[in-house]
Amino acid sequence: MSDILDQILARKHEEISALRARTTLDTLHKQAELAGPVRGFAAALKRRAENGASVIAEIKRASPSKGLIRADFDAAWLAQEYDRGGAACLSVLTDRDYFQGGNEYLIAARAACALPVIRKDFLIDEWQIVEARAIGADCVLLIAAALSASRLRELHHCARTLGLDVLVEIHDGAELDQVLSADLGHDYLLGINNRNLRSFETRLETTLDLLHRLPPGAEVVTESGIATSADVQRMLAAGVKRFLVGESLMRQPSPAAALQVLIG
């Protein structure tokens, strides 16, 4: 399989150039100021984790590896379903070319419920971070595989200055070392993606094998491959209480009912 991540990042540079051409950073900052207060993404996850599984439920129409996931796609309805099913937070894909997402889906999902929302995209520039707050995001994703340690630190600082929470995503031990060297303190959520972004192979052991290397107090989110209640129980037994779940819920007639079964 070709290196999908490199293809996506090349496209992101084009999108950033287009964003810079159609607006100004000052305009984006003004829009961010008008977006209203953040809803506290990390705090919502923490509250729910005190009583068991705390789920970030993902609104994702398609993916490069699986193609179209849900044809009858309605971001607002999905947000309400996830809220009714017991999600702590929402994740909304805004990448258009590879995941058939869009900023408009995040706006619609956040308006449809009271849950905090993360902008799920490949963010490599401050302009994208400010844009995330301008469209109402409460948290942003920073993917270690796409960033140097110094760039990770700069984007993390930009997000926190705007009041956004940050989910930093890793896939292996080398990326964990990179994140730790960025010296972010404890001011972030650490996502461990069980799906390799280069090959798209998925293994739950990716999370489990890295747990012993994490700093004390790390707020871990296990991502991808969580499909059954047995998967959830396996993670809970290992001390992992935060989950990002998308595809297994998106394919169900009632995502709310599926989420309730998943988390018990």
CATH number of the structural domain spanning residue 33: 3.20.20.70
Q: According to the model, what pLDDT value does residue 66 have? A: 85
H or E, element range at 256? helix 255-263
DSSP 81: H
Q: According to the model, what pLDDT value does residue 1 have? A: 33
**DSSP per-residue codes, 216-244:** TT--EEEES---SHHHHHHHHHTT--EEE
Q: According to the model, what pLDDT value does residue 85 have? A: 97
Q: How far apart are CA 60 and CA 37, in angstroms?
A: 25
Q: According to the model, what pLDDT value does residue 53 have? A: 97
Q: According to the model, what pLDDT value does residue 195 have? A: 86
Residues with a catalytic annotation lie at 58, 60, 120, 169, 193, 223-224
Number of C-beta neighbours around residue 224 at 10 A? 26
Kindly tell me the burial class for residue 186, based on how many C-beta atoms sit within 10 Å of its own C-beta (0-12, 13-18, 19 or more): exposed
What does the pLDDT profile of the chain (264 residues) look like in tens digits? 348 889 999 999 999 999 999 999 999 999 999 999 999 999 999 999 999 999 999 999 998 888 999 999 999 999 999 999 999 999 999 999 999 999 999 999 999 999 999 999 999 999 999 999 999 999 999 999 999 999 999 999 999 999 999 999 999 999 999 999 999 988 999 999 998 766 678 899 999 999 999 999 999 999 999 999 999 999 999 999 999 999 999 999 999 999 999 998
Number of domains in the chain: 1
Q: How far apart are CA 122 and CA 227, in angstroms?
A: 24
Q: According to the model, what pLDDT value does residue 22 have? A: 97
Q: According to the model, what pLDDT value does residue 2 have? A: 47
Alpha helix segments (H runs only) across 86-147: 103-111, 126-134
Tokens of 35: 């977006």
Q: How far apart are CA 33 and CA 217, in angstroms?
A: 32
Number of C-beta neighbours around residue 6 at 10 A? 12
Q: How far apart are CA 196 and CA 199, in angstroms?
A: 6
Could you list the residue range(s) of the whole structural domain that residue 96 is in?
4-263
CA–chain centroid gap for 237, Å, is 23
Q: What is this structure's pTM?
A: 0.95
Q: How far apart are CA 61 and CA 102, in angstroms?
A: 10
Q: How far apart are CA 61 and CA 109, in angstroms?
A: 13
Q: According to the model, what pLDDT value does residue 198 have? A: 66
Tokens of 20: 């810079």
Q: According to the model, what pLDDT value does residue 150 have? A: 97
